[in-house]
Amino acid sequence: MKVRQCDIAIVGGGLAGGLVALALRRARPDIALVVVEQSDLRGRNHVWSFFGTDVGKAGRELLDGMVVAAWPDYTVTFPAFERSLKTSYYSITSDRFDAVLRAELGQDAMITGVRALACSTRNVTLSNGMRIEAKAVIDARGIPNPEHLTGGWQKFVGQRLKLAAPHGLDAPVVKDVTVAQYNDYRFVSCLPFGPDEVFIADTYYAGDAQLDIATLRMRIADYAAAHGWEIAEILSEEQGVLPVIAGGDFDAFWRSTGGSIARAGERAGLFQAVTRCYLPDATRYALAIAQHTDMSGAGLAAFSESWARKHWRRGRYPRALSAMLFAGVKPAQRHRVLERFYTLDHRLIERFNAGRMTAFDKARVLVGKPPIPIGTAIGVLTGLGNKPQPLSFSGNRA
């Protein structure tokens, strides 16, 4: 068996693992890093988007070079209204992400196209027969089993399209909820990457993890046709099925994702409970772990658990909104939970997306006509009424 030695091994070269590696390289160039990714492309085939207020100056510096498109504002459209919000919006693609990592980490620091068969605090066994011996291991893969959590699923198919003529969009449409709901909370997003190039994602909040890729492809084509856009070429496609968390047992979740190993990203539960966006949390976490003084396996494991527990506590309010989505209303009416929210002050919306809501923000969301009957809401929140379902990766997942 071939043995590779390093200071820190990061298992999973997606957004979370890649940003941790990048932050460590910039802050601690003396540390020998190895990043293991089972695909040939860091981040696989994906588009990540974020609001300018999601990350601070240090976060923007960490993401420097990865952004492929930026806009000064964005639009949301619901059945009752359309609104343009003056908050900057950015997109990163996996190929640009991969190029930045290759340039800064160096080819020798990355092992691609192999799976991690087993991980411990200081060792990783790979599917190609290699064994990595490290002073510390960080597991940045996805959630292996969400059975200790409750909620629902965010499911999507996204396509980057070359059109036969200009689309006419000046800004991203982050949510178009005027589309048919199909018994789920459905919205379509459009990112104008060029005058005749657009990324369209068809997204659903559903109670099951089944993803009908063929149907969603057809609906994307129908959406483009309805807007008068003729598709000349499909440049790329991505799919995803992500757990949307409404509650659960954090201690059991933590034990199930790796015992005493340090974690990052989804495996540490670091994402926004409602929107499922994890770039802001991945950025903050990467910057913080790079400044941590104890780089031993035990030291990083303790740091990651402490960080994840604080994030879980701060996420109580977004999880309550997720509970409303999946247990407070019928599936086809889920959009009503967020419809009124997008009529509120844009700065409150910015803090919500960034995971930084104040106590006043939370109270403000509850003031006025509630999106669901107050009795139903109290029942969901207290557990005496309808309850979000335990999560399971049953069915067809991407």
Write down the pLDDT at residue 176: 97
pLDDT (average), residues 353-362: 88
Is the whole-model pTM more than 0.85?
yes
Lowest mean pLDDT among 29-43, 141-155, 189-203: 29-43
Q: State the Cα–Cα distance between residues 68 and 66, nearest whole angstrom.
A: 6
Amino acid identity of residue 23, one-letter, is: A
Question: Token digits for 218?
Answer: 């057809």
Is the pLDDT at 389 greater than 80? The verdict is no
Write down the pLDDT at residue 41: 59
Task: Assign 304 a pLDDT band (cuts: 50, 70, 90).
Answer: very high
Q: State the Cα–Cα distance between residues 41 and 113, nearest whole angstrom.
A: 9
Is the pLDDT at 336 greater than 50? The verdict is yes
Q: What is the CATH number of domain 3-46+94-147+246-314?
A: 3.50.50.60
- Cα 44–chain centre separation: 14
- Cα 333–chain centre separation: 24
Task: Assign 331 a pLDDT band (cuts: 50, 70, 90).
Answer: confident
- Which residues are bridge partners to 152 per DSSP? 244
Is the pLDDT at 116 greater than 60? The verdict is yes
Is the pLDDT at 368 greater than 60? The verdict is no
Write down the pLDDT at residue 5: 96
Q: What are the residue ranges spanned by the domains of the chain?
A: 3-46+94-147+246-314, 323-390
Write down the pLDDT at residue 378: 46
Task: Assign 396 a pLDDT band (cuts: 50, 70, 90).
Answer: very low
Task: Assign 369 a pLDDT band (cuts: 50, 70, 90).
Answer: low
pLDDT (average), residues 215-236: 97
The answer to whether 138 touches 302, Cβ cutoff 8 Å, is: no
Between 158 and 41, where is the model more confident? Answer: 158
